[in-house]
A and B are shown apart, each in its own frame.
Chain A
Amino acid sequence: MIKSVLDYLDNTAARFPNKVGYTDENTSLTFEELRTKSSLIGAALTEYSLVRKPVAVYMKKRVEQIVAFLAARHAGAFYVPLDIDSPFDRIDRILSGCGAEIILTCADETVTEEISSSYRVLCIEDLEKRGGEKEDADKVLTDLRRWQIDTDPIYAIFTSGSTGMPKGVLISERSAINFTEWWCETFEFTDEEIFANQTPFYFDASVKDIYATLRCGATMHIVPQKLFSLPVKLVEFLNETKTNCIDWVPSVLTMIVNFKTFDKVKPQYLKKIMFLGEVMPTKQFNQWRKALPEIAYANIYGPTEATGDCTYYKVNREFSDDEPIPIGNACENTEVFLLSEENEIITDDRMGEICVRGCSLALGYYNDPEKTAQAFTQHPLHSHYPERIYHTGDLGKYNQYGEIVYISRKDAQIKHMGHRIELGEIEVALSAVEGVGRAVCVYHKIANRIVAFYEGNITDKEIISVLRDKLPRYMLPNRFCQLDKLPVNANGKIDRVKLTQSLEETK
């Protein structure tokens, strides 16, 4: 019975012990090496009594990160991947919010004084040695495994929160396995699959590559980050590694065709492409399809709170450049429906909020019962037994084929260069800057810019110098507009609609 990703690890290490499972620029790991390393580290971690507790992982993207994830699971903990490019302030908010005491890193990573003085930082190389000295390492872990069940958490991924505090979406083993089974069956993955991983490990989209590889005995290459600005070299990398499947964000796929990369070099081995995380522009999609018609393409949709996916659409017809690619229909073992403002299930062509039910739903937001209760509610159509649904905050409607088409957000959440951002989080940081009065942020969709409007006698340069220590770079506003007074609407609230309109008129 599969009740944990560790069962995938055991099965695959037994079937393909010497096959390379994961690689990066510097290292590669076979499945047996992965099993041995992660269990030794896990055994050493048992000293810290971490069952169902968070273990943060702080390192650049590398294969050792996967070792650390699985080691945390061996010790009964759940892992929290951190973005090492984030300022300390935000990392600290995440760690204190989830109460993580232990941070795993590698010997050659730089951990700032701020972090090491506030948290216990452990190197996985040291832990591996300590685990190796334990004669009973295997026995310790076997005992611990008996008490691990599939409703236990596997990871928490932190997403932007509208009140300034990042939210920790806590996912169970059940959800991760449910997802991985569906993902591998639907796209017919086998041990022949060669994935090139693009998404950062602090995004849940990376769960796809990591666990499909672990389940099927496939191979996953971590693409060196700098290649995502060098499209020709990026495609050459796919060819050198004989990559046959990628699931990437549209920003990267769009970049490849915008720079006419296929005039120089074409992917030779790619058979399957999934795009996810944001809307794929149809015009660029059509350029891909024209250049590479043999590839099977699919659109993947879903929030972190539903383990990354709840609907999918395998492209099976032509689209004109101005026609949106649908997000399709629910994944196996998941129900997705549209809910009206009156809490009715929509079956006609009206717009409604996309809602999900099933075991893909997150356990909730870690340490945040209030936000959990807002987003995960009792099924609105019955009260016979407890059944949760998740409100995505995304609006959609059915097209003539009965497929769901994504329309827009209900609230102030945006997708900016592949990142999910709550404008509220930026506003909280902005308003806290000394000298700034009231402040709001709006998103200029056409120019893809975050625009900040503020009151106060302070320059944009001064504001930026403060904000860069509070927010990750992708959240910094691109434009600043100083106003004597922010416009208000009839309800006395800052008039975002008016501010947004003023932007669209200027460009």
Chain B
Amino acid sequence: MKEKVRSILQEILPDVDFDAETALFDDGIIESFDVIQIMSELMDSFSIDLNAEDIEPENLNSLDAIVALVESRLP
């Protein structure tokens, strides 16, 4: 699960070390278009629904936070 999320993120942002970063959103490492791509890709890959309210810094700051967001939406 974590590996799948990691590989999705890595493809969108090849230059980021997702294991080291804990303020991906707050530090502007992932920004506007990246967020859109990440969310769309997660929706497709895991067949989950994410909406505008899910795009919050605390859901996007680290790989673990993103994994937790996905897990909370899985049936």
Contact = CB atoms under 8 A, between A and B. Distances in A.
B15 A476 contact: yes
Pairs A-B, 9 closest by C-beta atoms: A228-B32, A229-B35, A259-B52, A231-B52, A255-B36, A261-B52, A229-B32, A232-B52, A417-B33
Interface of A: 225-226, 228-232, 251-252, 255, 258-261, 263-264, 417-418, 448-449, 460, 464-465, 467-468, 473-474, 476-480
Contacts of B47: none
B3 interface: no
A251 B35 CA distance: 12
B53 interface: yes
Contact of B55 (A231, A460, A464): A231
B22 interface: no
Contacts of A260: 51-52
A228 B33 CA distance: 7
Contacts of A479: 11
A449 B13 CA distance: 11
Contact of A449 (B11, B39, B53): B11
5 contacts: A225-B32, A230-B52, A230-B56, A417-B37, A473-B15
Contacts of B56: 230
B75 interface: no
B15 A464 contact: yes
B15 A230 contact: no
B17 to A, nearest CB: 10
Contacts of B50: 259
Nearest to B25: A229
B33 A460 contact: no
Nearest to A471: B15
Interface in B1-19: 11-15
A372 to B, nearest CB: 32
A264 B53 contact: yes
B27 to A, nearest CB: 11
B31 A225 contact: yes
Contact of B15 (A258, A418, A468, A480): A468
B55 A478 contact: no
Contact of B14 (A226, A417, A460): A460
A476 B12 CA distance: 9
Given A226-B32, A418-B33, A259 B55 contact: yes
Given A225-B32, A263-B51, A464 B37 contact: no
* Interface-central residue, B30, B32, B52, B55, by most chain A CB under 10 Å: B52
Contacts of B30: 229
Contacts of A476: 14-15
Nearest to B33: A417
B39 A259 contact: yes
A474 B32 CA distance: 12
B25 to A, nearest CB: 8
A326 B49 CA distance: 32
Interface in B34-61: 34-37, 39-40, 50-53, 55-56
B14 A259 contact: no
B29 to A, nearest CB: 10
Contacts of A229: 25, 30-36, 55
B32 A478 contact: no
Nearest to A479: B11
